[in-house]
């Protein structure tokens, strides 16, 4: 009986320690949207979405110029954000989604 109680308490302490050891993050998304020669760079953090930059861009023989989204991602990385996943959607234009996270203090 004492062995079962000891084992249960040990497992509970290990579980609590493991849960507290996990990092906590804030999450956001940066999106590059291209359609019809125009692009938008959009960010979304904590239910606030805004268009960071818009402009005209023609696709060249090598593809797209990703300078606008790269500039935005560089600015965000300077503020502690990191890209942890990406996704491309081709519906109603082309959407490149960059999923971001930032460690909470």
Helix (H, G, I), strand (E, B) or coil at 80: coil
| 95 pLDDT above the threshold of 70 | yes
pLDDT of residue 59: 65
Handedness of CA 53, 72, 31, 24 (dihedral sign): negative
At 14 the pLDDT is 67
What's the pLDDT tens digit per position in 56-82?
A: 886 666 777 888 999 999 999 999 999
pTM: 0.74
3-state class (DSSP) for residue 55:
strand
pLDDT over 90 for what percent of the chain?
Answer: 50
Region 29-33: what's the mean pLDDT? Answer: 95
Burial 29-51 (b: 16+ CB within 10 A, else e): ebbbbbeeeebbbbbebeeeeee
pLDDT reported for residue 78? 94
Contact between 103 and 84 (Cβ < 8 Å): no
Statement: residue 1 has pLDDT above 70: no
């Amino acid at each position: 009986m004492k062995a079962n109680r000891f084992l249960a308490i040990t497992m509970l302490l290990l579980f609590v320690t493991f849960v507290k050891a996990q990092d906590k993050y804030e999450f956001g998304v940066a999106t590059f949207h291209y359609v019809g020669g125009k692009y938008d760079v959009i960010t979304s953090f904590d239910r606030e979405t805004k268009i960071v930059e818009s402009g005209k861009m023609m696709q060249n023989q090598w593809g797209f110029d990703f300078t606008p989204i790269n500039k935005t991602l560089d600015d965000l990385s300077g503020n502690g954000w990191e890209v942890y996943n990406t996704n491309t959607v081709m519906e109603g234009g082309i959407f490149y989604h960059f999923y971001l996270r930032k460690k909470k203090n």
